[in-house]
Chain A
Amino acid sequence: MTTATTKTSTATAVTPPAIGYCDLGASIRFPRAPDEESVKDLVRAARRGGVSTVVVDVSGQPPVDNARFQAACAALQGHDGVRVVPAVCPVQGGGLADVASVERPAAWATREAPGSSWLVPDEVRFVYKLPAPVDDAVLLRRVAETARARHALVVAPSVDGALAAGAVAVEGAVATRLGLPALPEAAEVLGIGRILTIAKLTGARFHVAGIFTAAGAALLASSGNDRVTGSVFASHLLLDETALLARRYDTRLLRRPPLPTSSSRLALIAAVKEGTLLVSSGHAHVPRRERDLEPVRATPGGTALASTARLLRPLLGDDVLARSFGVLPTRCLGDTTTPVRPPPVPPGLDAPSTDDDDLARCLQEFSR
């Protein structure tokens, strides 16, 4: 990577790569169990995948005082040429979290840590991430108003939480045949509709992560609000629900939201090519003990950060990939100063690295 040379100087002088792939959709557990991924593992995976900027949040039940997480992220700023944006969870229980107390370390991690002064202060100072859908419009409005006041980008799931609860598939022939709990595609129309309405009401910036239906993508594209963007996870561009039939009850195929129908998948690919939808990894490491369970009990998710770009390249081509997984996500973070050019292809991007990458391994097994 061309920017890697700057890393050799002292820590204070580290300048993260000006451009590279930018991922808005990775999460991690913190504090972590020994068999779970560390922030350092994540940074290494980003480096291998040519990702130079990664927004990362604490999945599951985020502690309000996640200062230790922010510090861990700060410690790895610029490490391996990767800049880490620790997201803030703005909700706790059924209400607004004490965001001020977590923003301080987040600000330190993103702006004041050595070599990380890259978020544009007036545009986006923080990234808020909702680890689960917020169905309560009152709470969502409060989150949005807070985000607006504090210059935060809100990354939110696309679905209505109540309709999506417990679902591991999309309602339709596949889910019916396999007897899996499923959500209607309308769950996403409801979820995105709520976000668009609140965004318009408050003027907050939103990024809807993990769009998985054609209707959801169309709704977002027609909104006309350029402060609301959306992205689709790599797995949802590469696999559709028929994979569940091909590999019966393989819990590595469980994703949140579930894998799209084949027609939705094609519409999502088209939306990415048109530039109305961004791409993110959807990276969420699931340890074996939570993976080797019955399909309705297993935790959805999977690692994909290291192989997102490599797997999507044949599907999207270099230019589309550079835009949807590089330039546009960088813009979402308010970084308008970055010159617009396709990110360089990092070395070894074509080499398979499947040992710690569920998505790559799944696809490799599929192609056999």
Chain B
Amino acid sequence: MTTKGVLSLPHLMGIEGLTRDDATLLLDTARSFIEVNTRQLKKVPALRGRLVALMFFENSTRTRLSFELAAKRLSADTLSFSSSGSSVSKGETLLDTAANIEAMKPDLVVVRHEASGAPWMLERVMSGAIANAGDGNHEHPTQALLDAMTLLHRSQRQPKDGLAGKTVCIVGDISRSRVARSNMLLLPLLGAKVRVAGPATMLPAGLRDVYDVEVFDDVDEALCSGAPVDAVMMLRIQKERAARAVMGSDDDYAVGYGLTKDRFARVLARNDAALVMHPGPMNRGVEIDAEVADSPHSVILEQTETGVAVRMAVLYLLALGHSRGVEGGAA
């Protein structure tokens, strides 16, 4: 049972576990914050005196800035910890760091880590509400929420209407993508049909058992068969590891699985309002053609703006639940 106005879970570990009501509440709240972000004075006192710890164990300037701005616009104090794994090699473990930060009693903890499951480790030693800002290959819930927000906005729908009737195609390295995992949960929860496409070695085993998605290893079939696609979400290819592990070169990947001009033209031929999304940062010319990325169909910059409002909603609702002792489980 969801108490109206508050999430059913104490933390945002992922999209997994969220109810449709939770998702609607998060997106509705984010809409209110979009209004705040259009004001001249873009700040509200809701979290005045609360401490938000930003624990970024992986380089991610964009997500960290987005969360930091979100916290500041809610008048919270922020405590920023960044490391790129180097302090771990100096002997300090994740739990050591967590214990140090916990001593400052943060009300909210935002964590980004290159290891799947890191937020669960923190949950055991920290008392604040935890927001997962991306863990390994596992989940990146705020990215999925802002993707959903962008899709709703572009189709002029309210969060409660959901995304029924929409078809979204996610293309790339699904296996190593936390953005894909969160979207494969959230978009179907909101009623959208989701297709995923990528080279077979980038499609993890058991996809269909876990997610309500259609799976393709041929990107052209995914994009141009069945119902017309409303949005194409291109995932970033980790140039260093993934592309080479699967393909001989970046060009091979672009030809086989990238969103080239030709490929996108075929998508537009079936639906001239189709959108292009990308969680960024982009490899222009690899997974996405530069012209396609800059076309009016691209919502990539808009996604960045919506991100702050979504993260404000996450922080605000977690603080609300935390202050009222929302417990875990399906209570």
Q: A53 to chain B: closest CB distance in Å?
A: 37
Contacts of B117 in A (CB 8 A): 178-180, 248-249, 294-295
Contact A180 B116 (CB under 8 A): yes
Chain B interface category by residue count: 20 to 34
Which residues 183-225 of A sit at the B interface, judged by CB distance below 8 A? Answer: 184
Q: For the complex, give the distance between the alpha carbons of A12 and B88 in Å.
A: 50
Of residues B115, B118, B136, B181, which shows the largest number of chain A Cβ atoms within 10 Å of its Cβ?
A: B115
Contact B116 A179 (CB under 8 A): yes
- A289 part of interface (Cβ distance < 8 Å): yes
Q: A171 to chain B: closest CB distance in Å?
A: 4
- A61 part of interface (Cβ distance < 8 Å): no
Contact B210 A173 (CB under 8 A): yes
- B49 part of interface (Cβ distance < 8 Å): no
Contact B113 A177 (CB under 8 A): no
Question: Contact mask B207-243 → A, CB, 8 Å, 1/0?
Answer: 1011000000000000000000000000000000000
Of residues A174, A177, A181, A293, which shows the largest number of chain B Cβ atoms within 10 Å of its Cβ?
A: A177
Contacts of A171 in B (CB 8 A): 204-206
Q: A179-B136, A179-B139 are in contact. Are A248 and B206 (CB under 8 A)?
A: no
Q: For the complex, give the distance between the alpha carbons of A182 and B207 in Å.
A: 14
Q: For the complex, give the distance between the alpha carbons of A14 and B94 in Å.
A: 49
A292 interface neighbour in B88, B95, B113, B116, Cβ under 8 Å: B95
Q: For the complex, give the distance between the alpha carbons of A182 and B176 in Å.
A: 11
- B249 part of interface (Cβ distance < 8 Å): no
Contacts of B95 in A (CB 8 A): 292-293
- B80 part of interface (Cβ distance < 8 Å): no
Contacts of A249 in B (CB 8 A): 116-117, 120-121
Q: For the complex, give the distance between the alpha carbons of A202 and B16 in Å.
A: 52
Write the chain A residue with the least CB distance to B176.
A179
6 tightest A-B CB contacts, nearest first = A179-B138, A249-B117, A294-B115, A173-B206, A179-B137, A179-B116
Q: B291 to chain A: closest CB distance in Å?
A: 33
24 residue pairs bridging A and B, Cβ less than 8 Å apart: A172-B209, A173-B206, A174-B206, A176-B206, A177-B206, A178-B117, A179-B117, A179-B138, A179-B139, A179-B178, A179-B181, A180-B117, A248-B120, A249-B121, A292-B93, A292-B95, A292-B121, A293-B94, A294-B118, A295-B116, A296-B115, A296-B116, A296-B136, A297-B88
Question: Contact mask A234-272 → B, CB, 8 Å, 1/0?
Answer: 000000000000001100000000000000000000000
Q: For the complex, give the distance between the alpha carbons of A172 and B210 in Å.
A: 9
Q: A292-B95, A294-B117 are in contact. Are A176 and B136 (CB under 8 A)?
A: no
Write the chain B residue with the least CB distance to A247.
B120
Write the chain A residue with the least CB distance to B203.
A176
Chain A interface category by residue count: 20 to 34
Contact B115 A295 (CB under 8 A): yes
Contact A178 B138 (CB under 8 A): yes
Add 6 more A-B contacts to A179-B138, A248-B117, A289-B93 (CB < 8 A): A172-B205, A182-B205, A184-B205, A294-B113, A295-B116, A296-B136
Contacts of A179 in B (CB 8 A): 116-117, 135-139, 178, 181
Contacts of B181 in A (CB 8 A): 177, 179
Contact A178 B116 (CB under 8 A): yes
Contact B205 A175 (CB under 8 A): yes
Which residues 78-105 of A sit at the B interface, judged by CB distance below 8 A? Answer: none
B206 interface neighbour in A172, A293, A295, A296, Cβ under 8 Å: A172
Contact B93 A293 (CB under 8 A): yes
Question: Contact mask B113-141 → A, CB, 8 Å, 1/0?
Answer: 10111101100000000000001111100
Contact B205 A297 (CB under 8 A): no
Contacts of A297 in B (CB 8 A): 88, 115
Q: A52 to chain B: closest CB distance in Å?
A: 39
Contact A294 B94 (CB under 8 A): yes
Contacts of A181 in B (CB 8 A): 137
Q: For the complex, give the distance between the alpha carbons of A171 and B206 in Å.
A: 8
Q: For the complex, give the distance between the alpha carbons of A172 and B205 in Å.
A: 5
Contacts of A174 in B (CB 8 A): 206
Q: B12 to chain A: closest CB distance in Å?
A: 14
Q: For the complex, give the distance between the alpha carbons of A172 and B113 in Å.
A: 23
Write the chain A residue with the least CB distance to B125.
A292
Write the chain B residue with the least CB distance to A176.
B204
Q: For the complex, give the distance between the alpha carbons of A289 and B138 in Å.
A: 24
Contacts of B16 in A (CB 8 A): 177
Of residues A176, A182, A289, A295, which shows the largest number of chain B Cβ atoms within 10 Å of its Cβ?
A: A176
Write the chain B residue with the least CB distance to A174.
B206
Q: For the complex, give the distance between the alpha carbons of A231 and B178 in Å.
A: 36
Contacts of B115 in A (CB 8 A): 294-297
Write the chain B residue with the least CB distance to A294.
B115
Contacts of A289 in B (CB 8 A): 93
Write the chain A residue with the least CB distance to B91.
A289
A177 interface neighbour in B94, B121, B135, B210, Cβ under 8 Å: B210
Contacts of B204 in A (CB 8 A): 171, 175-176, 182
Contacts of B206 in A (CB 8 A): 171-177
Write the chain A residue with the least CB distance to B119.
A249
Q: A249-B121, A294-B121 are in contact. Are A176 and B138 (CB under 8 A)?
A: no
Write the chain A residue with the least CB distance to B95.
A292
